[in-house]
Amino acid sequence: MSLYPLFADLTDRAVLVVGGGDVAARKILALLDAGAQVTVGAPQLNPALERLRDDGRIVHRAGTFEPHWLDRVWLVIAATANVHVNRRIADAAGERRLFANVVDDAELCSFHVPAVIERKPLVLAISSGGAAPMLARWLRARLETRLDHTLGALASLLADWRGTIRARQPDLAARRRFYQRLLDGRVWQWLRRGDRAGAERELLRTLDAAPTSAPAGSVTLVGAGPGDPGLLTLHGLRALQAADVILHDRLVSAEVLALARRDATRIEVGKQAGGPHTTQDEIHALMLAHARNGAHVVRLKGGDPFVFGRGGEELEFLRAHDVPYAVVPGITAALACAAYAGIPLTHREHAQSVRFVTAHCRESLDTLDWRALAAERQTLVFYMGVAQLATLRAQLIAHGRDAGTPFALVENGSRAEQRVVSGTLGELDALALQHRAQSPALLIVGEVAALAEPLAWFGIPPLGATPLAQAA
């Protein structure tokens, strides 16, 4: 079936819906949202439609369908459970040259209701011509995640400035080039911040700029999450798909990187003890060089940029060098690893607070308030602490934490190869050595860690002491 796509203005126009059940209710809500004057023909209405009738939002015509119901309506939707009634409605509408939609019967339809993506005033419609409506809905769901939520705000901005743009750029080709520069530029960043005035300034700057002027670069700090690509935020996904250059940490998963724009330049800037090492100053220099060259740079960090990710240092550098920037938070490892291990970080019966602690080197451990960390009824989460497990165990016990306090060491949290080693604090480093625990791994200490075994749901069951080790 070949369809001619169109968008109907139903504002204050009469539409008839025949049927009083849930399917009819869904159609009616969409029609009301479009401004239609809806009459519902049905012997009875479901509770939702009764409320709409009582509120004066719809008119109820009680009884079974009669052709005169079609008088003075612009279109009709048949949403009854009776195929014979639906056919009568379609035939009567055809005789009057009215467009009719019969729910779940493509052959009787003279128009189809598409799957819709709304970014008002922008509306996208997807139709399979009635052949595969579930495919249209699936495609809609896929596109919803990829289309920026600020598209509506952008459409409103362009509508308000359309006259000025046409006056300043009367030549069609020049106007098209302006729109391309604007849409490839920084206007999105202002809209995502909810800053309409900033977006208007960006529009005027682009309108005033010579077409040959170098594009303005920018940097977006993006949290990649712990590894599972499903945990990347929509903002993060959209930033990756708009990136010219991606500076990514070593621990950012290949699955997350695969979601990025195909032709983006990827540069690994990871830090690994005893291996290749990119200094923070070198990362700063790379961000600055690519941004000044007009690129949209994504600084992609594992977890969240502002939780032990040096995101603050990088923003300070960018601000000092007048480089525009934005931040997209990510799901930090503490939240993701705990959730994927079945461990609630807080629990009414066990922990009323949680502390995030970095333990990547001995110098950082020397600055910690161990007495406060050893207090009971709190959860401790240690980042980057695999090499310091013996010191962590000794310091916590020495400052009052019970050696029987449960722990869970979550290795490769949220990834297919996730492992959880669990036990008690007194045997922490011994169990980690026994199971050859390696980074990246997150250590959780506290009574809630005992829930790792009963609440486990992802990956292999938690590993503990083997019978031989326990006997020894």
What is the Rg, in whole angstroms, of the alpha carbon atoms belonging to the chain?
30
Give per-residue pLDDT as tens, 122-180: 888 888 887 888 898 898 888 888 888 899 999 999 999 999 999 998 888 788 889 98
Q: Are 342 and 452 within 8 A, CB to CB?
A: yes
Backbone φ/ψ region at 129: left (φ over 0), alpha (ψ -120 to 50), beta: left
Q: Are 122 and 152 within 8 A, CB to CB?
A: yes
At residue 292 the predicted structure's pLDDT band, cuts being 50, 70 and 90, is: very high
12 vs 212, more confident: 12
Cis peptide before 440 (omega within 30 of 0): yes
Give per-residue pLDDT as tens, 47-76: 999 999 999 999 999 999 999 999 999 999
Catalytic residue status for 249 = yes
> Active-site residue among 104, 105, 184, 271?
271
Give per-residue pLDDT as tens, 208-252: 886 655 567 899 999 999 999 999 999 999 899 889 999 999 989
> Active-site residue among 249, 301, 304, 429?
249
- The mean pLDDT of the chain is 91
At residue 355 the predicted structure's pLDDT band, cuts being 50, 70 and 90, is: very high
Cis peptide before 121 (omega within 30 of 0): yes
Find the mean pLDDT for residues 389-398. 96
Sheet with 265-268, strands from edge to edge, namely 265-268, 245-248, 296-301, 218-223, 325-328
For residue 25, the model assigns a pLDDT of: 96
For residue 263, the model assigns a pLDDT of: 87
Which residues have CB under 8 Å from 83's CB, separation 6+? 105
For residue 273, the model assigns a pLDDT of: 53
pLDDT at 318 over 80: yes
The span from the CA of 46 to the CA of 293, in Å, is 61
CA distances from 379 to 93, 178, 372, 419 (A): 67, 54, 12, 20
273 vs 141, more confident: 141
Place of tokens 């990871």: 270
DSSP 134-185: HHHHHHHHHHHHHS-TTHHHHHHHHHHTHHHHHHH--SHHHHHHHHHHHHTT
Find the mean pLDDT for residues 464-472. 49
In three state form, how does the secondary structure of 225-292 look?
Answer: ECCCHHHCCHHHHHHHHHCCEEEECCCCCHHHHCCCCCCCEEEECCECCCCCECCHHHHHHHHHHHHH
